Structure 1
């Protein structure tokens, strides 16, 4: 199956109407799914349901929703609710967030990051399969099942930054959602770990891989470092992101400087150029067997405006190799 191209909705939208042009882009030939991160202004799940109410029913991906903000049972209900509202498949991706965020939302960090994720994914996957789910863990406990309803498939994803989480995703998740991962880091570290983690799992084969890739077209008044800083600068202040980049060979200071952002461009994390030049770099992901690339124009949206981001994404989609592959519901 050819590599698919999906779109990330730019963050910090304050009205659901602002999402309409991006949702319509995903209905073009060659576009597959509309992805969102954790919605802190407008809730991500509510937004997709609102779009469905307007008659715009899209395949949706949530990558990633923060575990501290919802119980596993509520997470399963919300993901399936979106599938029911849209009539389309959903990828419900989760992650523990940073230690600071856990303290802010829960009052304390998880005692074990990987242990908490394992429990959470086990519960959500069990519930979405319709099975009675009885799990008692150190962080999460559920003894319940969802009301039986026919619904499009909901795949459970796991945000992956480093090797140990990739191993866990290979063992437990349907989809691995990567971020700030260059093609070389995927090929040398994350994909081998996913395959190793999947050894012996029922159903065979490693998870589907959806790789977020921040992009920006070249043009007057645009510099790669400026766009990369807007897209990724906030993440570079967080220790777990800096550590993931260090393991990929990109050492950043986390001081909010454009010099840090420029390293993301040099390291192949942020892709910049003409649409054709960006696709030439995306061919590296295709060669690795990545299933889906999520085009992330956040840097353009935050520096040049939401309409400019929409135009960039449309132009990149237009230049995508054909066929783009919208068949199937993965």
Structure 2
């Protein structure tokens, strides 16, 4: 299992400089990859280009670039550019986002997310291979049949004709699609106690699609877990650092009718608590929602406590099949705390970094 770092996205300009500094430290320490997110603020490709220009070896991943934000051809162009300019270090993570962002921010209907993702990945791969891009739909039709457009191929020559594609997936059907068409899974709120079922869905889909190697359908597939690490000896105090983050996703990242993270918490056995968190969050009572997040949920999905406890519990991720543990550095963590955390893990687990 490799160590990476997940920087999330920034809200204030100073935080952007902190993210670059954390990425540079991760590169110096020999971490495998750095991942950057986007929602409706900072965008992932710009941050990755900046980080890529100021680092040397660390791989650059989008976690994620939003599918409704760009045409698949534009994403193929961006992937080719980032990969070439970074010397082959780019990893393309994609996600459909949710209906609130897709329809409210991008003006794209949140319909048929699985079919749209499948078409999207097919077109992106075609762009990177420098095929003349044609697609018969149903979600994308290239070229349009009733106008002057013609089938085109990428005008530049990328460094690689295959860039690893990762999908952010939460529900069972999306996990199956990930196994079928992607090279990796971007997991959030992964619990080693519950992840085996999720990874089994991916594995079965890969086997059915003839992917993998020999008898191992998961060969060559990267399971990336974005996992907060809080090195505070008292587990309850450590969990308090993550309560607002958990409440935002379980309670507010989506509508009452459609919140993928709320459903995930429910499937993990926290159905009653997830409903309470959502009720409080949607009522604007954010502090109460954060206080309602169970310690057990946070401890299952994050690494909390002393360095010794964290390293012992970190091995559960490797045992269940995680191949990249991306240390999430958001929340209340400062730049110095983030870099110190990365240094402690690199020292305690030197075999997990270069």
> What residue is the counterpart of 2:227 in the other structure?
213
Which of 295, 319, 334 does residue 287 from structure 1 map onto?
Answer: 319
- Matching of residue 311 in structure 1 with residue 343 in structure 2: no
| Bigger mean CA offset, 143-152 vs 74-83 | 143-152
**Change beyond 3 A, Cα 1:261–1:93:** farther
Deviation at 1:261, TM superposition (A): 5.2
Which of 303, 311, 317 does residue 271 from structure 1 map onto?
Answer: 303
Deviation at 1:263, TM superposition (A): 4.1
Deviation at 1:40, TM superposition (A): 4.3
> What residue is the counterpart of 1:190 in the other structure?
198
**Change beyond 3 A, Cα 1:293–1:243:** same
Q: Is the 8 A contact 2:171 2:260 kept in 1?
A: no
> What residue is the counterpart of 1:245 in the other structure?
265
Which of 3, 6, 16 does residue 5 from structure 1 map onto?
Answer: 3
Q: Structure 2 CA distance, aligned partners of 1:173 and 1:147?
A: 25
Q: Structure 2 CA distance, aligned partners of 1:287 and 1:234?
A: 29
Deviation at 1:56, TM superposition (A): 4.7
Q: Structure 2 CA distance, aligned partners of 1:30 and 1:58?
A: 7
**Change beyond 3 A, Cα 1:190–1:142:** farther
> What residue is the counterpart of 1:75 in the other structure?
75
**Change beyond 3 A, Cα 1:200–1:229:** same
Which blocks of at least 5 consecutive residues in structure 1 are unaligned?
Answer: none
Matches within 5 A, 1:1-330: 3-12=1-10, 14-15=13-14, 16-38=16-38, 40-54=40-54, 56=56, 58-107=58-107, 109-143=109-143, 144-152=152-160, 154-187=163-196, 189-204=197-212, 205-206=217-218, 207-219=221-233, 223-237=237-251, 238=253, 239-251=259-271, 252-253=274-275, 254=278, 255=280, 256-260=289-293, 262-266=295-299, 268-301=300-333, 305-320=334-349, 322-326=350-354
- How many residues in Structure 1 have an aligned counterpart in Structure 2? 318
Residue 210 of structure 1: SS of its match in structure 2?
strand
Deviation at 1:203, TM superposition (A): 4.6
Give the superposed CA RMSD.
Answer: 2.4
Q: Structure 1 CA distance, aligned partners of 2:159 and 2:235?
A: 47
Q: Structure 2 CA distance, aligned partners of 1:312 and 1:296?
A: 10
Kindly provide the CA deviation profile for residues 62-82 of structure 1, in whole angstroms up to 9, marking residues without a partner as x: 111211111111111112211
Which blocks of at least 5 consecutive residues in structure 2 are unaligned?
Answer: 144-151, 254-258, 281-288
Asked which structure has the greater CA Rg, the reply is: 2
**Change beyond 3 A, Cα 1:231–1:88:** farther
**Change beyond 3 A, Cα 1:25–1:88:** farther
Deviation at 1:111, TM superposition (A): 2.1
Q: Structure 1 CA distance, aligned partners of 2:125 and 2:90?
A: 13
Q: Structure 1 CA distance, aligned partners of 2:21 and 2:164?
A: 25
